[in-house]
Structure 1
Amino acid sequence: MNIETDDPKQVVLQLGAALKKLRKEKRLSLEDLSEISGVSKLTLGNIERGETNPTIGMLWKVSKSLSIPLMALFSTENSVNVSRAGSGLRIAGDGGNWIIEPIFQNANNEMEIYRAYLQPNSSYYPEKHHHNTTELATVMSGTITINVNNESYTLNEYDSISFAANGTHSYTNNTDNVVVLHILLKYGI
């Protein structure tokens, strides 16, 4: 994962502190969390201390095992939030082909919204999400093919799709332009 912001080290430290707090709230040891998440105890400890920059896939495994939305690991508590495209937290995965910008998360951790960018002629294969999670994606610019449980759907600008996100799904951009999406994850945790 590549986190881009004004102070990436600060984000990694905040992520680690949030993970440690959430783990302790659930009364789990590092060993317990390692067992249920499939992420090594050493790696989890390094994340909590802010000594490593975890992958998106790793963070999905941890959030899923804690039964929390992914962005709960990055949460801030302000009453008014503004999300500006291209500024703030940016998380890159798959060699930079897929970049997400968290937009908003509701206070009850029931949903979160991202702005996602898929680079030209590339694909992104996310981890399966939490049980009972619905993913809604709207194409803001470009054309994309979204594969859900081996069914392909081609979406153009302003088209939207909704599906159960705890199954296999992927995003493919077969064009020469960046595709921009708004993605909402609705958790049934």
Structure 2
Amino acid sequence: MNIADYLAKTLKLLRQARGWSLSRLAEETGVSKAMLGQIERNESSPTVATLWKIATGLNVPFSTFIAPPENETPHAYDPDKQAMVITPIFPWDEKLHFDLFSITLAPGALSESTPHEKGVIEHVIVISGVLDMCIQGQWKTLTSGQGVRFAGDEAHAYRNSSAQTALFHSLIHYSTEKAASAPAAGGEKPPL
């Protein structure tokens, strides 16, 4: 099963496990019913921002949707020119309540993130290149080796205004309430 198939199947399973219709899922996530249906049928690839909205609305870690099928490198990306590519380094950790991602942001790319679920703390560390971050309405420039920690439950944005690809790591620390709805050890999804 490829990543797109995995995403489609996982979304449908999580929705059905809750007994939700596509309309209810749309209400909870802020993503249109039509788009959710297309994702479930594997007719459309969501943007990173859309995938975050879905994970937040379902109250599951982001990596739930990009956990690797056997022998395949997981990733999520914005379909338009792969402006942002996200690869899990350490997917959801049940004991420590975090995901750790390696993210590349193409030159000139901007990714705006809606607030994640309450209590999420995000840590961003630039590995190479230059990354601009908008946190609490203020832009801050980070270069290789610099990092920032902020409340991920507020709107924030990532921008690469340089001519080189930016590479950074993002550790998403979820509140302990996340544990009840997170994937079980071994990548299996709990019955929700």
SS at match of 1:54: coil
The verdict on how the C-alpha distance between 1:52 and 1:172 changes in structure 2, with shifts beyond 3 A counting, is closer
Corresponding residue number in structure 2 for 1:103: 89
Cα distance in structure 2, aligned partners of 1:143 and 1:52: 31
1:116 to 91, 95, 103: 103
Q: For residue 106 of structure 1, give the secondary structure of its aligned residue in structure 2.
A: strand
Measured after TM superposition, the shift of residue 145 of structure 1 is 2.1
CA contact (8 A) 1:103 1:115 kept: yes
CA-to-partner distance for each residue in 1:117-168, whole Å, 9 max, x for gaps?
Answer: 1222333222222221111011101222212012232222111110001212
Gaps of 5+ in 1: 1-6, 82-86
Distance 1:143 1:74, change over 3 A: closer
Distance 1:157 1:39 in 2: 35
Number of aligned residue pairs: give it.
174
Q: 1:147, 1:169 → 2: CA distance?
A: 5
1:121, 1:51 → 2: CA distance?
28
Amino acid at match of 1:168: A
Q: Which residue is equivalent to 1:149?
A: 136
Matched, 1:65 2:57: yes
Pick the aligned partner of 1:52 from 44, 53, 58: 44
TM-score under structure 2 length normalisation: 0.79
- Cα deviation, residue 69, structure 1: 1.2
| SS of the residue 2:99 aligns to | strand
Shift of 1:178: 1.3
- Sequence identity percentage: 28
For 1:36 and 1:159, the matched residues in 2 are separated by 35
In angstroms, what is the RMSD of aligned CA positions? 2.5
On the 8 A contact 1:60/1:70 being kept in 2, the answer is yes
Q: Following the alignment from structure 1 to structure 2, what is the Cα–Cα distance between the partners of residues 166 and 18? A: 24
